[in-house]
Amino acid sequence: MQSKLVENWLTSAGEVSFTAPFVQLLLSEGYTVLQSKGGVVEQGKDIVARDKDGNIHCFQLKCGDIGSKEWQAINGQINDLTGVAPTHPTITKAKKIWICHLVTNGDITGPVLKTITDYSSTNTANGRMPLQTIAKDELLQRFTNAFGSFFPVEPEDARIFFELYCEDGDNVLKRKEFKQYLENFLAGLDAVKSGQKKLEAIQATPILASYILTNKYQQENYTAIIDAWVLSLLTIEYYANKWSLDEKKYSATESLILEEIDKLFTHLVDDVASNETNLVDSTYGLFSEPVITFRLRCAELLGYIFASVNYAVLSGRQLPALPSGLKEKVALMNQRKMLLSEAGAPYFFNTIVTAALSGNDEAAIAELKTLIDSIIYSHTDDGEGLLSPYYTTEQAVQHTFEAGDSIGESFHNRSYVLWSAILLLVKYNQRDFLNERWSVLSEISMEEIVAHDQNDLLLWTATNSDMLDTFPNSEQSWKELQNKVEASYDNEIPSVLLNRKYLIPFMIIAMPHRLTPKLILSLVNK
């Protein structure tokens, strides 16, 4: 059954969705991956890796069958692969030999095998590298050997797995179900004593995620895929820490996911910048665009773009060159974005954090004031407030349009995100603004989940935690607020995130109920 599962996924994977799993396969086989970014400077090499014996391998990845026509189409890339030596800081200049692989998840058909053999002979005679091939059957065997045992076989596991897999590629990621599936998968190894087995399960996690994401990759649903990789990484970090695994042993898997996020960001901003319809999309209906979806899309895209910027700034990773036209689209999205529920607040906070990290205080203050006034407005005159971050955008839309099941929860004068915004404005010394609104703000109860073990906040549900539901002081000391803002929260955020604060911008989007004052302040406080 496992090999059938692997085959089904392998043959339906596209080039973009196939790269990360292949890199993970190489890692699990003991290769050290030196480069897996590809792009315009790839010179025919999607992946460069070193094997255990120190040999350098270069891989060109393709999808589908390769017949004469396909071979002709990729000939230029193959010539680069076999003729241009790989460059990497860890590769000595003296390196004159590298092993070249053409990899496809299809078959190499017809006379092409003979063509490749002849091509290799000619290359060898001319001082170029010969070409080896890795096709479907070999890949299937290698993937099955490495990860087959981790694919679900128990009916209930398999049902959830395939329900996630069968989700429409255009739909948003079912974040809760996806996260909890991965949590259950890794929690299943809690009782296993072998650290090696646990490490293998960590390495299998991106493979399972890739499988589930097949349709999302096909539909180029980049925001959903970013969510999925962030949730995968958070789950890996949680269990690797819980199991006290040596960080060095899973750091390559971590890097693989971060590089995948880098690539997705590039695709996302390219799509946004080159969009010719001013980000209006009529695929599933036109009327809903001006009513709500266009403005929701603006907020969401803006949130992911700024989260990527924050992630790059906090991690020291280099942002790709931003495409022309993006600036105008960002301005458009800024004008049109809307806040429908508190699950959407992380998009706004990412905009604020970008302004804060770049020293653009004026922009951060303006954004915060608008956010606070929007939230206050939703509670004014017995207004029902905004749905909490525990409800998806789809549920918020259902609630707004009185469609579907009733929510059955009151949100009037309760907020999970307001206190973070208030404290940020305290940081910017906006006392007059807050004082003018304090009679209203102090009547809104501030909600927060405090986990007994802070790392549990990386789980979708922190069972061992307390929910705080507290009104601010009616007469509030400004000095006390300032002290709160200036405090260090490094000991009060998950220790796993302490050296990975760059994940927080994406984490609060993928898990909106984890947006807390402590996490936000830990980002902007020096």
Partner 1 sequence: MALPKYKEVKSIVEKSLSTRANNIMRQQMRPFDESPRIIQHEGKTIIHNTLDNQKSQKVMKYKKVQADYKLEYAKLINMTPEAMLAMIDEKARDIGNQMAKHQFEVLNETIEETGNSVDAKGQKITPDLILETMSKMSIPFDKDGNPKMPTLVINPKMSDEFKRVIAEAEADPKHKAKFDALMKQKKEEYDAEQAGRKLVD
**Contact pick of 142, 267, 336, 431 for partner 1 (by CB under 8 A):** 431
Q: Which residue, 318 or 406, is less far from partner 1 as judged by CB?
A: 406
Amino acid of residue 513 = H
Query: In the structure encoding, which two tokens stand for residue 219, read together?
Result: 């539909």
- Work out how close the CB of 373 gets to partner 1 at its nearest, in angstroms, rounded to a whole number: 16
Amino acid of residue 10 = L
The residues with which 61 forms a beta bridge, in sequence order, are 103
Q: Cα–Cα distance between 17 and 181 in angstroms, integer? A: 20
- Work out how close the CB of 23 gets to partner 1 at its nearest, in angstroms, rounded to a whole number: 35
Q: Which residue, 58 or 345, is less far from partner 1 as judged by CB?
A: 345
* 434 part of the interface to partner 1, by CB under 8 A: yes
* 292 part of the interface to partner 1, by CB under 8 A: no
Q: Which residue, 29 or 373, is less far from partner 1 as judged by CB?
A: 373
**Contact pick of 412, 487, 488, 490 for partner 1 (by CB under 8 A):** 412
Q: Cα–Cα distance between 445 and 470 in angstroms, integer? A: 5
Q: Cα–Cα distance between 524 and 517 in angstroms, integer? A: 11
* 410 part of the interface to partner 1, by CB under 8 A: yes
C-alpha radius of gyration, the chain, whole number = 25
CB 240 within 8 A of CB 224: no
- Work out how close the CB of 215 gets to partner 1 at its nearest, in angstroms, rounded to a whole number: 25
Question: Where on the phi/psi map is residue 44: left (φ > 0), alpha (ψ -120 to 50), or beta?
Answer: left
Q: Which residue, 248 or 479, is less far from partner 1 as judged by CB?
A: 479
- Work out how close the CB of 305 gets to partner 1 at its nearest, in angstroms, rounded to a whole number: 29
The residues with which 240 forms a beta bridge, in sequence order, are none
* 439 part of the interface to partner 1, by CB under 8 A: yes
Q: Which residue, 276 or 402, is less far from partner 1 as judged by CB?
A: 402
Q: Which stretch binds partner 1 (CB under 8 A): 15-23, 247-255, 318-326, 456-464?
A: 456-464
Q: Cα–Cα distance between 479 and 360 in angstroms, integer? A: 24
**Binding residues for partner 1, how many (CB under 8 A)?**
39
**Contact pick of 53, 154, 381, 402 for partner 1 (by CB under 8 A):** 381
CB 386 within 8 A of CB 512: no
Q: Which residue, 377 or 478, is less far from partner 1 as judged by CB?
A: 478
* 449 part of the interface to partner 1, by CB under 8 A: yes
**Contact pick of 390, 392, 524, 525 for partner 1 (by CB under 8 A):** 390
The label of the residue with tokens 């970008």 reads: 354
Q: Which residue, 118 or 409, is less far from partner 1 as judged by CB?
A: 409
Query: In the structure encoding, which two tokens stand for residue 384, read together?
Result: 């029902």
Q: Cα–Cα distance between 43 and 251 in angstroms, integer? A: 26
**Contact pick of 438, 455, 489, 525 for partner 1 (by CB under 8 A):** 438
- Work out how close the CB of 119 gets to partner 1 at its nearest, in angstroms, rounded to a whole number: 59
* Cα separations in angstroms, 77 against 33, 41, 43, 102, 321: 20, 11, 7, 10, 24
CB 130 within 8 A of CB 89: no
Question: Where on the phi/psi map is residue 429: left (φ > 0), alpha (ψ -120 to 50), or beta?
Answer: left
Q: Which residue, 265 or 411, is less far from partner 1 as judged by CB?
A: 411
Q: Which stretch binds partner 1 (CB under 8 A): 102-110, 209-217, 330-338, 429-437?
A: 429-437
Q: Cα–Cα distance between 523 and 502 in angstroms, integer? A: 8
- Work out how close the CB of 232 gets to partner 1 at its nearest, in angstroms, rounded to a whole number: 21
* 414 part of the interface to partner 1, by CB under 8 A: yes
> What DSSP string describes 79-133?
HHHHHS----TTS-TT----EEEEEESS-B-TTHHHHHHHHHHHHHHTTPPPEEE
Q: Cα–Cα distance between 493 and 453 in angstroms, integer? A: 10
Dihedral of alpha carbons 177, 22, 111, 69, sign: positive
**Contact pick of 362, 409, 453, 486 for partner 1 (by CB under 8 A):** 409
Q: Which residue, 350 or 388, is less far from partner 1 as judged by CB?
A: 388
- Return the C-alpha torsion angle 77, 81, 83, 84, nearest 10: 100
Q: Which of residues 461-520 bind partner 1 (CB under 8 A)?
A: 461-479, 481, 513
Q: Which residue, 13 or 458, is less far from partner 1 as judged by CB?
A: 458
* Cα separations in angstroms, 239 against 57, 147, 188, 243, 313: 32, 18, 11, 6, 26
CB 227 within 8 A of CB 510: yes
* 442 part of the interface to partner 1, by CB under 8 A: yes
Q: Specify the DSSP class assigned to residue 66.
A: B
**Contact pick of 115, 288, 445, 525 for partner 1 (by CB under 8 A):** 445
Instruction: Compose the 331-370 pattern: x for residues touching partner 1 by CB under 8 A, - for all others.
Output: ----------------------------------------
Q: Which residue, 197 or 412, is less far from partner 1 as judged by CB?
A: 412
Query: In the structure encoding, which two tokens stand for residue 492, read together?
Result: 């009060």
Q: Which residue, 325 or 472, is less far from partner 1 as judged by CB?
A: 472
Name the H helices within 15-96: 15-28, 68-83
* 388 part of the interface to partner 1, by CB under 8 A: yes
**Contact pick of 435, 488, 491, 495 for partner 1 (by CB under 8 A):** 435
- Work out how close the CB of 189 gets to partner 1 at its nearest, in angstroms, rounded to a whole number: 23
Task: List contacts with partner 1 (CB under 8 A).
Answer: 381, 388, 390, 408-410, 412-414, 431, 434-435, 438-439, 442-443, 445, 449, 461-479, 481, 513
